[in-house]
Amino acid sequence: MVQENAPAFAEAVANDMSKPKLEMYSAEIAAIVQRSLISTEKLEEWTKPTVIDVPDWQKPWSPTIYKVAKGVVLIIAPWNYPMTLSLQPFIGAIAAGCCAVVKPSEIAPNYSALLAELAPKYLDSNAFRIVLGGVPETTKLLELQWDHICYTGNSRVARIIATAAAKYLTPTTLELGGKCPVILDPATDIAIAAKRTLWGKAQNCGQVCVAPDYVLVPRVHQDAFIAAIKESCSQFFPDGSLASDSISRIVSPEHHSRLMDLLKRTKGEVVLGGKSQGLRIEITVVKNVLADDSLMEEEIFGPILPIVPVDSIQDAINFVRERPHPLVLYAFTENPQVKTQILNGTLSGSLVFNDTYMQLAVNEIPLGGVGESGHGRQVLKYTFDEFSYERGSIDLPKETEPFLGMRYAPYTEENFKS
């Protein structure tokens, strides 16, 4: 479906948020096609019953683990990567053998309508349905009993999902967001660190769960880092980021005014950007941002990058530790001791050294949060595992009876000795 309709999907998402075609093809279409193909190839391996190695006396029991579909599952997706975040869990659910209802986001209406139109042409509607709608429709869906719910979105709505799931003790996968910090070790190559941070921030105009949200920079190096960001920004967007078609726009007027309000209330100093035109907002860098600033209140989910000065790497680690566990922690450092200090001193869904966003290109590592950034894991086998469970099984043939005699009553001294 995705291969045959790639141009139509790209067009739909361009209409929803002006997502550049290059970003759509590389981060969504190619990823989904590749992951569908890999899932098909790996299906036999993933679903094969595993015969377990046990002590010799238990071998005749044939202990086996079967991978079993959980049943009928609900997938609720957000708007920002509308294809990846609706179809990646869908692929895993199909691979696991589940029936599924997918509820794409009403905030990406063109993509959602196209998916609803195409899916019945490719999939059996008795097993797989796309349901369109917003809060009222999702609320209705949540009243039903599901065997698993996979929700990707914000942590406020995640609490509504978890509450609805609790009624039937339904297991959940909650793929959430939060503020992903970047820690900068000044001994690193600041130009590369700035370029890679800016690139990650510019993807989908910062509307990414794994976008670098803010940067913790040793105070004396703040200006050098900002100068390097400015330099990269003028290379990426020679006519300015407002005019560029290499960057998405903000998805909706509500998100636009939320971002402009955060910017209006900041007590930091805007050193790059700050302007807006229609639903577009310039790449904006704000310096000397303090912990209680408007820009630190919530996940930014837009092209604004606050720089928070700190006194040392340990200060930066403490700053991260005092806040909810992020989905991703980024750190630019080539120093093995600093890497160990960050690895052992923090918790986050993923930990990425010396780049941003590229963890999504590695099919073999899972995406998922910890604590406030969610629970459960995605990508290929990890997604398959979310929608299936391990059913342990043994089979005791009658020939094992002589070895089992001791367990039967009446209990005697003889039983006890044997």
The residues binding ligand NAD (CB under 6 A) are: 76-80, 85, 103, 105-107, 134-135, 138-139, 152-154, 157, 160, 175-177, 209, 299, 301, 327, 367, 369, 374
- 24 versus 327: smaller Cβ distance to ligand NAD: 327
| Residue of closest CB approach to ligand NAD | 177
The runs of H, that is alpha helices, within 82-172 are 82-96, 109-122, 135-143, 155-167
Question: Is residue 294 exposed (0-12), middle (13-18) or buried (19+ Cβ within 10 Å)?
Answer: middle
Query: Cβ 408 to ligand NAD, closest distance in Å?
Result: 53
- 307 versus 328: smaller Cβ distance to ligand NAD: 328
The helix-helix angle for 155-167 and 135-143 (nearest 10°) equals 30
Query: Cβ 106 to ligand NAD, closest distance in Å?
Result: 5
Question: Which among 103, 98, 96, 134 is positioned nearest to 119, based on CA atoms?
Answer: 103
Query: Cβ 141 to ligand NAD, closest distance in Å?
Result: 8
Phi, psi of 44 (to 5 degrees): -65, -45
- 88 versus 188: smaller Cβ distance to ligand NAD: 88
Structure tokens at 264: 């209006």
Residue 73, beta-bridge partner list = 100, 148
Query: Cβ 109 to ligand NAD, closest distance in Å?
Result: 11
Instruction: Find all residues with CB under 8 Å of 369, minimum gap 6, and list them.
Output: 174, 175, 176, 178, 325, 327, 349, 375
The runs of H, that is alpha helices, within 153-252 are 155-167, 190-202, 222-236
**Active site (annotated) includes residue 4:** no
Query: Cβ 378 to ligand NAD, closest distance in Å?
Result: 7
**Active site (annotated) includes residue 282:** no
- 208 versus 338: smaller Cβ distance to ligand NAD: 208
Single out the catalytic residue among 150, 180, 209, 233: 209
Cα 31 to Cα 48: distance, rounded to the nearest angstrom? 25
SS3 at position 43: helix
Phi, psi of 82 (to 5 degrees): -60, -35
Cα 176 to Cα 371: distance, rounded to the nearest angstrom? 10
* Number of Cα atoms under 13 Å in the Cβ half of residue 283: 30
Query: Cβ 132 to ligand NAD, closest distance in Å?
Result: 10
- 175 versus 185: smaller Cβ distance to ligand NAD: 175
Cα 92 to Cα 32: distance, rounded to the nearest angstrom? 11
Question: Which among 330, 335, 327 is positioned nearest to 354, based on CA atoms?
Answer: 330
Query: Cβ 180 to ligand NAD, closest distance in Å?
Result: 9
- 80 versus 232: smaller Cβ distance to ligand NAD: 80
Single out the catalytic residue among 28, 175, 282, 386: 175
- 105 versus 222: smaller Cβ distance to ligand NAD: 105
Residues with active-site annotation: 175, 209
